[in-house]
């Protein structure tokens, strides 16, 4: 048991999927895992451990933003022995060709700052995904005939962004999508010798202003979870 996770020793698997929303963690566990058991409810951040094709998996909420994810990822890795951490979440497309429902596999994650900024000081560290996970996720998406885009994303500090000039430059430089957690996850995985990847579903299209209605999101999110699970155990 840690400050933020109430699971007992041995209750968390070495492979952890991290949706931001704890209710999405419950949905994913009940939909994709056999025999899921709730192993955490501290502060309403739900976590479940079960089995996928005989492989033990934990699906645990991470909250919104890098500071929240940093708390859970640190404790999962250092205190519970998590070795593979895959973020599953939504993202906003920054490119016209990256459409709603498409999957984005984040090879790199640019950011203005992360909770780890104090460690690096003047160094502009370049957070990146584990190549084995990235390659396996792309192969899984391709086998399913799912449009998956591989490239750089932007992990933002804020949801209500007021920097259209910065967004314009990121679009110009090919950044695929924006979300709020992956950069810190990649940094922590590198620091502690774990594997990390972000598998994201495009729920909003910034160039056009289009967005998925709630009832249309579930199928796209299902594809994302299945790709993440297949990548973890490839």
180 has binding-site annotation: yes
168 is a catalytic site residue? no
CATH code of 94's domain: 3.40.50.1580
Note whether residue 7 is domain-resident: no
Q: How far apart are CA 181 and CA 85, in angstroms?
A: 12
Its domain, for residue 159, covers: 15-232
3-state secondary structure at position 155:
strand
Domain count along the chain:
1
Closest CA to 104 of 146, 148, 152, 153: 148
pLDDT at 102: 94
Confidence of residue 90 (pLDDT cuts 50, 70, 90): very high
Closest CA to 208 of 91, 94, 105, 89: 94
Q: What would the mean pLDDT of 144-169 be, rounded to a whole number?
A: 94
Note whether residue 4 is domain-resident: no
Confidence of residue 213 (pLDDT cuts 50, 70, 90): confident
192 has binding-site annotation: no
pTM of the model: 0.96
Catalytic residue among 21, 157, 161, 204: 204
DSSP, res 128: B
Of all residues in the chain, the percent with pLDDT exceeding 70 is 98
81 has binding-site annotation: no
Note whether residue 139 is domain-resident: yes
24 has binding-site annotation: yes
Note whether residue 10 is domain-resident: no
pLDDT at 219: 58
93 has binding-site annotation: no
């Amino acid at each position: 048991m840690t400050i933020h996770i109430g699971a007992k020793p041995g209750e968390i698997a070495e492979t952890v999927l991290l949706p931001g929303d704890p209710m999405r963690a419950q949905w994913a566990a009940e939909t994709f895992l056999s025999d899921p058991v709730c192993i955490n409810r501290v502060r309403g951040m739900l976590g479940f451990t079960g089995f996928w094709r005989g492989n033990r998996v934990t699906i645990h909420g991470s909250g919104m933003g890098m500071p929240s994810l940093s708390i859970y990822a640190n404790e999962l890795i250092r205190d519970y022995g998590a070795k593979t951490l895959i973020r599953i979440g939504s993202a906003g497309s920054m490119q016209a060709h990256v459409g709603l429902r498409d999957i984005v596999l984040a090879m790199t994650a640019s950011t203005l700052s992360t909770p780890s900024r104090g460690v690096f000081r003047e160094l502009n560290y370049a957070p990146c995904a584990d190549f084995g996970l990235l390659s396996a996720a792309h192969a899984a998406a391709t086998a399913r005939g799912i449009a998956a885009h591989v490239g750089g994303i932007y992990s933002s500090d804020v949801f209500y962004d007021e920097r259209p000039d910065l967004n314009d430059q990121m679009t110009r430089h090919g950044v695929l999508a924006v979300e709020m957690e992956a950069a810190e996850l990649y940094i922590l995985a590198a620091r502690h010798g774990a594997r990390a990847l972000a598998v994201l579903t495009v729920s909003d299209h910034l160039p056009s202003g289009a967005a998925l209605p709630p009832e249309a999101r579930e199928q796209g999110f299902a594809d994302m979870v299945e790709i993440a699970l297949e990548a973890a155990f490839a």
